[in-house]
Structure 1
Amino acid sequence: MRARRVRAGLKGWGGVGAMAAFCALALAFVLLLPRTQSPDDGSAGLDGPGVAEGHQAADAACKDKDAEKLTLSPSAADGDTIAAIKARQGEKRKLIVGVDQNSYRWGYRDPNNTTAALEGFDIDLVHRIAEDILGDPDAVQFKAIPTNQRIPAIQEGRVDMIVRTMTITCDRLSDVAFSAPYFKTGQQLLAPKSSKIKGYDATLADTKVCTAASSTANTRLTEDRDAGRIPKSVNLDTVVPNQLDCLVRLQLGEVDAVVTDGALAASQAAQDPTVELKGDPFTTEYYGVAMNKDADDLVRRVNRILVEYRASGWQASYDTWLSATLGTDATTSKPPTPAQYLRES
């Protein structure tokens, strides 16, 4: 049923397969841009001790459809967390941010760019946050963090924040704090154009679907299969550390489809002309900046920055990075202007 082949006709950077190989090598070590070469000694002045990795039960009062409202109101005031960031000396006086380096148009290195700098929609937001807090948009130490390590990286104090297409959910709010939303998307299927799969429906019967570990896609598919909302015969055994790994499995014919955020899937489809999005998004999700649960002042500062960014900066970044893959009309992707900040402390 599954042809063991590498699809031909790739475009973009010489093919997604080449990009994936490049990224796999790059992910073997901690990413530090040339302008941010401070050593990672595990004691970069992060506020407070690391939190032991673990998964807590979600707040029973939280509903995922309203999870994006459970954040703190904006404030420009400095607190202990921001003070600790500003107190870093010399080359260590940087905002430490977990990002992706292999999501095309979101956070990636273009091999055709000789500077080797990270680029993308998420990266633009990081620079804006660094400029506000430290007065320098380039005062950033980027760390490449796999999908399944986003929460541990925050809890263990390895980063100040994660800006990495991370969906706000009640489950995650048990472990980390989120900013207000900065992007709207939804889960969607990616499959070969020739596939019998038509969408998130009965056509998934007897197929193998790949998801990233600790992703909202993995959680949703497992729940829906167990509840009978998709065929019981859907095989979900292929779970990988990073969502791009799923695209490589799809290209090799090892799986029949990928489920990931539609915004990311669209970028992947733009690189590989043999695959396409199948059906409409079947969830509504919001990306937020993730931070330590105790970093209230940092959460409030990021929310204040986002108020300004939505008014000046967001659209320009969308036009630069995402309009080619998601369309020039950004209406469906714009984050809602928060009417409420429901978290009090």
Structure 2
Amino acid sequence: MAAVCALAVVLALLLPRTQAAGDGSTGTGSPGIAQGSPARAEEECTDPEKQTLSPSGADGPTIEEIKNRQGEKRKLVVGVDQNSYRWGYRNPNSTGTAELEGFDIDLVHRIAEDILGDPDAVQFKAIPTNQRIPAIQEGRVDMVVRTMTINCDRLADVAFSAPYFKTGQQVLAPKSSTVEGYDDTLADRKICTAEGSTAYSTLEQGQKEGDLPASADISRTVPNQLDCLVRLQLGEVDAVVTDGALAASQAAQDPTVELKGAAFTTEYYGVAMKKDADDLVRRVNQILVDYRKDTSGGWQSSYDKWLSATLGAESEDSEPPAPQYLRKS
């Protein structure tokens, strides 16, 4: 345990905190399955994962601006995670510059290849969870591909693609813990979540609605999701709540922890972009259609490479639903 903890701390300290390549987290919850909105969906927002534009391969003003960048700046600028194992991370065992790799990173390369003709025409920017939306709104990135849940609150600030992955909130705790999942066993426990994540909003809403014991301490928030694993290893918190997809990867990094109980929300990851970048949203949706159809180097191939070891060989539970495009403008 001490060795694993030390390794996690070292990795966390070694990871760059600025650009060069990313962070993530993700709904409401009773022990049943709930929609992954940080709060109850407002009446005017239903099925947030369907509130996107229909696919198109056409260029528009946003894409033209990206294509018109000159020299070394002619790249797609993408906010990503760099410390989520198998999603967006720097492999310390790789040779050379320890380039970013993972499921989200594969998707970024596919988008860059389609728009700029070069899968490596990407400038990665590492952004903490609570900076994902500001980074888009302030124009620091063209998009965020960083295990980002589509929900109603976020749709007020950014536009999303159709879903590219299905997951749900789960509890991560030491194997020796008496915590059993999202239930009364979390009473009097210190729970870690990432700032700006839907995990925190889920717990906050859960306490308001009585689904989570009022005595559970949900104040232990951190900038990056990996920091929760470190705090769990150090004994500073009793449990972590995050997306099951991310929690499974963290359990693979530390054999002393495990997922507790089933997922208690249903959530979908999407690519986030500026609200007025309609042409880019449509283009990404077209890329996702083609990516899912590609049997040799597309979605399934990326899943098999990065996620099958932690989520299982069968990908059905992680596959997003057939996309619906209900947003008209």
Inter-partner Cα distance in structure 2 for 1:284 and 1:30: 31
Aligned-pair CA distance for 1:337: 1.6
- Give the match for residue 343 of structure 1: 327
- Give the match for residue 3 of structure 1: none
Query: What SS does structure 2 have at the residue aligned with 1:88?
Result: coil
Query: What SS does structure 2 have at the residue aligned with 1:332?
Result: helix
TM-score (norm 1): 0.87
Aligned-pair CA distance for 1:19: 1.9
Inter-partner Cα distance in structure 2 for 1:158 and 1:138: 19
CA contact (8 A) 1:9 1:273 kept: no
- Give the match for residue 320 of structure 1: 305
CA 1:344–1:59: 2 relative to 1, 3 Å: farther
Q: Alpha-carbon deviations, 1:291-335, whole Å to 9, x = none? A: 000000000000000001111100000000001111101010011
- Give the match for residue 214 of structure 2: 232
Query: What SS does structure 2 have at the residue aligned with 1:142?
Result: strand
Inter-partner Cα distance in structure 2 for 1:241 and 1:10: 21
Q: Which amino acid in 2 is paired with 1:109?
A: R
Query: What SS does structure 1 have at the residue aligned with 2:301?
Result: helix
CA 1:32–1:162: 2 relative to 1, 3 Å: closer
Identity among equivalent pairs (%)? 73
Q: Which amino acid in 2 is paired with 1:231?
A: P
CA contact (8 A) 1:196 1:203 kept: yes
- Listed as ranges, the matches of 1:173-252 within 5 Å are 173-252=155-234
Q: May I ask how many residue pairs the two structures share in their alignment?
A: 308
- Listed as ranges, the matches of 1:1-345 within 5 Å are 7-8=1-2, 10=4, 15-23=7-15, 26-27=16-17, 29-31=18-20, 60-63=43-46, 66-115=47-96, 116-312=98-294, 313-338=298-323, 340-345=324-329
Aligned-pair CA distance for 1:22: 1.9
Aligned-pair CA distance for 1:9: 5.5
Q: Which amino acid in 2 is paired with 1:327?
A: G
Q: Alpha-carbon deviations, 1:184-226, whole Å to 9, x = none? A: 0000000000111001001111100001111010000001012
CA contact (8 A) 1:186 1:284 kept: yes
Inter-partner Cα distance in structure 2 for 1:299 and 1:177: 7
TM-score (norm 2): 0.91
CA contact (8 A) 1:15 1:272 kept: no
CA contact (8 A) 1:182 1:287 kept: yes
Aligned-pair CA distance for 1:16: 2.5
CA contact (8 A) 2:50 2:162 kept: yes
Inter-partner Cα distance in structure 1 for 2:236 and 2:95: 34
Q: Alpha-carbon deviations, 1:123-178, whole Å to 9, x = none? A: 00000000000000000000001101000000000000000000000000000000
Q: Which amino acid in 2 is paired with 1:218?
A: Y
- Give the match for residue 36 of structure 2: none
Aligned-pair CA distance for 1:99: 0.3
CA 1:258–1:32: 2 relative to 1, 3 Å: closer
Aligned-pair CA distance for 1:21: 2.3
Q: Which amino acid in 2 is paired with 1:10?
A: V
Aligned-pair CA distance for 1:32: 5.5
Aligned-pair CA distance for 1:8: 3.2
Q: Alpha-carbon deviations, 1:7-44, whole Å to 9, x = none? A: 33639xx8323322222xx11x32259xxxxxxxxxxx
Q: Which amino acid in 1 is paired with 2:44?
A: A
Q: Alpha-carbon deviations, 1:83-104, whole Å to 9, x = none? A: 0000001100000000000000
CA 1:32–1:279: 2 relative to 1, 3 Å: closer
Query: What SS does structure 1 have at the residue aligned with 2:291?
Result: helix
Q: Which amino acid in 1 is paired with 2:238?
A: D
Aligned-pair CA distance for 1:230: 1.2
Inter-partner Cα distance in structure 1 for 2:54 and 2:176: 48
Inter-partner Cα distance in structure 1 for 2:221 and 2:61: 38
Inter-partner Cα distance in structure 2 for 1:330 and 1:245: 28
CA contact (8 A) 2:21 2:82 kept: no
CA contact (8 A) 1:15 1:271 kept: no
Aligned-pair CA distance for 1:114: 1.8
CA 1:182–1:32: 2 relative to 1, 3 Å: closer
